[in-house]
Amino acid sequence: MMNRDDLRAAVGAGIVSEAQAASLASLADRRRGARTDLAEGDEPFELFKGFNEVFIVVGLLILSMGWAGVVGIAYAAEITNPQQAAMLYGSIGALIIWGMSEYFIRRRRMVGPAIALSILFAGNAALALTTYFAQPFMVAQQDYGSLPLPFILGTAAIGVFWYRFRVPFAMAMIAVGFFIVAILMAATSQGTPQDPSDLFLLSAGGPFAWITLVLGFAVFAAAMAFDMSDPHRVTRRSANGFWLHVVAAPALVNTLALTLLDRDAHWVLLGVMLVFALVAIIIDRRSFLIAAIGYIVALASTVFDGETTALTVLILGGILLLLGAFWEKFRARLLRLMPRFVPLHRLPPSNI
């Protein structure tokens, strides 16, 4: 185990530079922060490092509300050219958010403010670009041909933000941006669905449900690429995978669950969730399973009702508790049953 004295000695011997030693020390601190007090095999999860981050996030939210009010007043005064005003104030807002991100994310390495600034940057870009490029009269007539371009540019802007600051949560917003763009392009080429449920029912006409399903698998594959590059879950690659799993699971479950619940195939749905559970256990991602089950419970509570649906929710809750209590034991046995072609060396090791 290397300590700070070893790093100082390495700098003195010319093996590493002071900047490299500082980066190593920072990485070690982040690893300890993520793993401290975690049980063996548990997933690191961190939204805030301390209450000071909560304090800053509240400040950012209040600041954004004040900025929105000021811009609204100024925007109303320049209503003669709303597109130009939108780009002007959007550009100013982007520069302000970028400057704060340089300090709070790159310099201070704060987790909570990084998520808040990512959301603010994405919201600012989406609002400014949509106002500039969208045609409100076309949208009012259910012609969404002017909407894909601003969302493509907005997703690209979030991609640039992620590339600079490497905020894992921004990766999830990029995935959501791809979903929005794909749905809008399908609506433009195939026509707007008559009912919102047509977006997610495989039995409905149009490509919407299949788009959701295919993109769900694509996001899951991207999440696995990040996870398998960091099987011990100690770098930001793992955090990128975490947030992508949170997006992929509802996308996959949304189409499958709505289709099966619509057909009253509750037992088939339980079988599908069993497959999801097995996958989540093998890849050691509780976030994937909790997002999937949580989404099903939300659907069952808001869209569907009945005794069978309530029984399905009850069973899912019991399964979740059972897995939470014996996750590592289940995982150890499953890994022993895996065929040799499964790259277990690129998955988190079992501690049993």
The two tokens of residue 244 are 């992508």
Q: Given this model, what pLDDT does residue 44 score?
A: 64
The two tokens of residue 338 are 């895996």
Cα torsion 160, 164, 166, 167: sign: negative
3-state secondary structure string, 27-90?
HHHHHHHHHCCCCCCCCCCCCCCCHHHHHHHHHHHHHHHHHHHHHHHHHHHCCCCHHHHHHHHH
Q: Is 219 exposed, middle or buried (0-12, 13-18, 19+ CB in 10 A)?
A: buried
Interatomic CA distance for residues 328 and 132, integer angstroms? 52
Cα 10–Cα 12–Cα 16 angle in degrees, nearest 5? 45
Q: Give the Å distances, CA to CA, from 193 to 104, 177, 299.
A: 43, 20, 20
Under 8 Å between Cβ of 150 and 129: yes
Helix (H) or strand (E) holding 149: helix 148-165
Q: Is 295 exposed, middle or buried (0-12, 13-18, 19+ CB in 10 A)?
A: middle
Under 8 Å between Cβ of 120 and 64: yes
Interatomic CA distance for residues 345 and 349, integer angstroms? 7
Render each residue's pLDDT in the chain as its tens digit; 352 residues. 666 777 777 777 788 787 777 777 766 665 555 444 555 556 666 777 788 999 999 999 999 999 888 888 876 766 667 778 888 889 999 999 999 999 999 998 898 999 999 999 999 999 899 888 877 656 556 666 777 889 999 999 999 999 999 999 999 999 999 988 888 887 776 665 555 555 555 545 557 677 888 898 999 999 999 999 888 787 788 889 999 999 998 888 877 777 776 677 767 877 888 888 899 999 999 888 888 887 777 766 665 555 566 777 788 788 888 888 888 888 889 988 888 888 888 888 876 6
pTM: 0.80
Under 8 Å between Cβ of 17 and 11: yes
The two tokens of residue 30 are 């982040």
* Domain locations along the chain: 44-192, 203-352
Dmax (CA) of the chain: 72
Interatomic CA distance for residues 295 and 313, integer angstroms? 11
Question: How would DSSP label each residue in 164-217?
Answer: HH--HHHHHHHHHHHHHHHHHHHHHHH---SSGGGGT-TTSSSSHHHHHHHHHH
Interatomic CA distance for residues 282 and 300, integer angstroms? 27
Helix (H, G, I), strand (E, B) or coil at 264: coil
Under 8 Å between Cβ of 60 and 113: yes
Cα torsion 157, 288, 279, 337: sign: positive
